[in-house]
Structure 1
Amino acid sequence: MEVIEGNWTSFQGRVILTSFVCLALTPVESLKGKDGSLYCELSGTAPFQITWFKDKKPLMESRKYKMVSEGSSATLHIIGIESSDTGEYECKASNNVGSDTCQTSVKLREPAKIVDKPDSLSVTAGDIAALEVQVRGTPELVPKWFKDGVELASGRKYKISFSRMISSLNVLSAEKMDSGEYTFEVMNEVGKDLSKINLTVLGGCLSLTWRFGISRKVCLV
């Protein structure tokens, strides 16, 4: 027998055993709690011995992982993908001639969600009304602020920012007419969430002082 480019052949030209190549391993981006599957396509002579790895550690068949090998393909089913399932995955296949590997990744796609916000806020006329909402989710997150159904934008009246998963709306020099219900909305490719915040702008405050040094701040609505 002779060796040609790593493949074993007979002089009659009939292939007895060939090395193989791992052709493809498709990455997975999944919603939390959903199942996901990694497919590894192989080219070469069966039978193959398949080993799956996550972050360089071998995986075993379990309730979490289901492994299927059929002909020139191998599949790893991941049941109920959670944050702990994200990472780098590797499919290693071998036969009597050699081995090859394919690498890919599993990522979690989390819908946009509001995790913390005030229900209401009261400020004195002339002050800055600062509304803040904390969110989470897979980027790219798109936050929006509304009042009376109209989307707000940064300008002389409002200053809007979004940094470190916190969206802020500052109502500059708040007036009585700024009182009302504000709606915050955040969305990404896989979901949307919204909440409402009531803003009350008080008419002004007076500092009243009684005998014996007793004082009190009274705000007019």
Structure 2
Amino acid sequence: MYLCLTIPPPRVSWTRGPDHLPLPDSQRYTITPSGGLFIEGVIVNDKGEYICTGSNIEGSVEASALLIIQGKSLILHLNSEAPRFSTLPTDSTVLNWQSVEFICSAEGTPPATFTWTKAGAQISDQRYTVLSSGTLRIVNVAQHDQGQYECHASNRAGANFTVVQLIVLPEGRCPDWEQRKVSCESGGIADYQRRGRSGPRRI
């Protein structure tokens, strides 16, 4: 049961979804005298967003609730939002024994939790660390670390993921950049220009 209250006493209505569709014509849906929405015998088709609108002489206000059905259990998430990426990781090229970080962050309600996989498989190597911010850190990179990685962000409202590539060069070999102020063998920050791109990049 959902409750929707305003002062002074309002006229309350309930709709479904961002388009404010009317509630299904079913006796299972009841708006109580206090303004609550009661759904009897919840079924899978009842899932989705419900919007309560309360209006009186002072104006009107809306509140939303997300109804999620999981098996035979019912979960209500007020004002929940699935994760949306705010920072996407970028492909990186490093040498053997260097370290690399893939920055991955997302916004959502409640805050997202992050996991990383490589080619769809869980990462278990102790050289890999997933920070609470979502960043993946790999130290002492080896040739077998090369490949595709996936950043997964999830909360109780949903999940999202993005992919990134790591290329590992044999030790002593440098990317063919047109300009370098710091040699790649030093493992520092190189100012580079390649195919029209410029700026600092960790290698």
TM-score of the two chains, using structure 2 as the length reference = 0.50
Match of 1:160 among 127, 130, 135: 130
- The DSSP-based 3-state class of the residue aligned with 1:204 is coil
For 1:196 and 1:71, locate their aligned partners in 2 and report how far apart those are by CA, in whole Å: 48
CA contact (8 A) 1:205 1:217 kept: no
Per-residue deviation at 1:112?
Answer: 1.6
The aligned residue for residue 122 of structure 1 is 93
Per-residue deviation at 1:120?
Answer: 0.5
Please list every run of 5 or more consecutive structure 2 residues that lacks an aligned counterpart in the other structure.
12-19, 21-30, 37-50, 55-60, 64-76, 175-179, 186-203
Give the 5 Å matches for 1:1-221: 26-27=2-3, 38=4, 50-51=9-10, 72-74=33-35, 77-78=52-53, 107-139=78-110, 141-153=112-124, 156-162=126-132, 166-205=133-172, 217=183
- The DSSP-based 3-state class of the residue aligned with 1:137 is strand
Residue identity in the other structure for 1:169: L
Q: Structure 1 128/51 Cα, relative in aligned 2: closer, same or farther at 3 Å?
A: same
How big is the alpha-carbon RMSD for the aligned residues of Structure 1 and Structure 2? 3.9
Per-residue deviation at 1:50?
Answer: 2.0
TM-superposition CA deviations, 1:102-154 (whole Å, max 9, x none): xxxx952111222211231112211111111011111252311001221114x
For 1:160 and 1:71, locate their aligned partners in 2 and report how far apart those are by CA, in whole Å: 47
- The DSSP-based 3-state class of the residue aligned with 2:162 is strand
- The DSSP-based 3-state class of the residue aligned with 2:131 is strand
CA contact (8 A) 1:121 1:200 kept: yes
Identity among equivalent positions (%) equals 16
- The DSSP-based 3-state class of the residue aligned with 1:177 is helix
**Count of aligned pairs between the two proteins:** 129
Residue identity in the other structure for 1:142: T
For 2:126 and 2:92, locate their aligned partners in 1 and report how far apart those are by CA, in whole Å: 21
Deviates more, 1:125-134 or 1:115-124: 115-124
TM-score of the two chains, using structure 1 as the length reference = 0.47
Per-residue deviation at 1:176?
Answer: 1.4
User: Considering only CA atoms, is the larger Rg found in Structure 1 or Structure 2?
Assistant: 1
Runs (4+) of structure 1 exceeding 6 A deviation are none
Please list every run of 5 or more consecutive structure 1 residues that lacks an aligned counterpart in the other structure.
1-24, 28-37, 41-48, 53-63, 65-69, 87-105, 208-213
